[in-house]
Amino acid sequence: MSVAIVTGASRGLGLALARALAGRGWALVVDARGVEALNQAAAELAERTRVVALPGDVADEAHRVELVEAATRLGGVDVLVNNASFLGPSPQPRLGAYPLGVLEQVYAVNVLAPLRLVQLALPLLADANGRIVNVTSDAGVEGYEGWGGYGSSKAALEQLSNVLAAEHPELKVYWVDPGDMNTAMHQEAYPGEDISDQPPPEDSVPGLLALIEADHPSGRYRAKELVPQP
């Protein structure tokens, strides 16, 4: 049974991807900060596959170690999906007024935590010829006003991914932009606005599955360009 670690899997894209992997028979290690939402997601996933749900913050080292140890008990790590992200303040402040203490938290979750999880999982991934999927954003390559904190953290994640791909040609390393989605975090970025016209996160899942299951070379991808759109 293949094993995937999916962070931030209690809602949104992480949960949608976990559901799809469960339906394909993958064993899962999932996490989220919200205990109740994670428990609900885990109960649903457990009806279809083996799942270990660990509430916690990916910025916490003990929690990261716990995630990799849980995957080891399931048999290893075939895929590491770094999906958990921290938006920062809502609404987003301009960089000239961005509180640096909060920016450190954004980088801790969006940059340092994914890298550290890769470091911890690397021996297991190497044994499995595994795959790393780092979920990024168009804000990591475009200069959107008010998105300097989150966007620069995703830009850093993209370059980390790029270097990891160069350093580990034996692995598949992907950094993937899922596109705009109707998620809680997207709503947090636009408080008070109606985002009901945005597509659900399930629309981005086929592209992620294409990276996980097909044989694309390491690199940056847009999820919705990987599969034909209706």
Q: How far apart are CA 107 and CA 103, in angstroms?
A: 6
pLDDT at residue 230 in the model: 63
168 in any annotated domain: yes
Beta bridge partner(s), residue 133: 81, 174
Q: How far apart are CA 211 and CA 227, in angstroms?
A: 10
Q: How far apart are CA 41 and CA 97, in angstroms?
A: 37
Domain count, the chain: 1
| Residues annotated catalytic, as ranges | 150
Q: Is residue 86 packed enough to be buried (19+ CB in 10 Å), middle (13-18) or exposed (0-12)?
A: buried
Residue type for position 171: L
199 in any annotated domain: yes
pLDDT at residue 191 in the model: 73
pLDDT tens readout for residues 91-128: 889 999 999 999 999 999 999 999 999 999 999 998 88
pLDDT at residue 180 in the model: 82
230 in any annotated domain: no
- Across the chain, what does the average pLDDT equal? 94
pLDDT at residue 90 in the model: 86
166 in any annotated domain: yes
Statement: residue 192 has pLDDT above 90: no
pTM: 0.95
With cut-offs at 50, 70 and 90, classify the pLDDT of residue 152.
very high
pLDDT tens readout for residues 1-33: 899 999 999 999 999 999 999 999 999 999 999
pLDDT tens readout for residues 78-87: 999 999 999 9
Statement: residue 132 has pLDDT above 70: yes
Q: Which structural domain, as residue segments, surrounds residue 98?
A: 3-225
139 in any annotated domain: yes
pLDDT at residue 184 in the model: 72
pLDDT at residue 193 in the model: 77
pLDDT at residue 186 in the model: 67
pLDDT at residue 92 in the model: 87
Statement: residue 171 has pLDDT above 80: yes
14 in any annotated domain: yes
Statement: residue 40 has pLDDT above 80: yes
Torsion of CA 99, 100, 106, 111, to 10 degrees: 160
Q: How many residues can be counted in the chain? A: 230
Tally: H helices and E strands in the chain: 8, 7
Q: What is the CATH number of the domain that holds 173?
A: 3.40.50.720
Statement: residue 41 has pLDDT above 80: yes
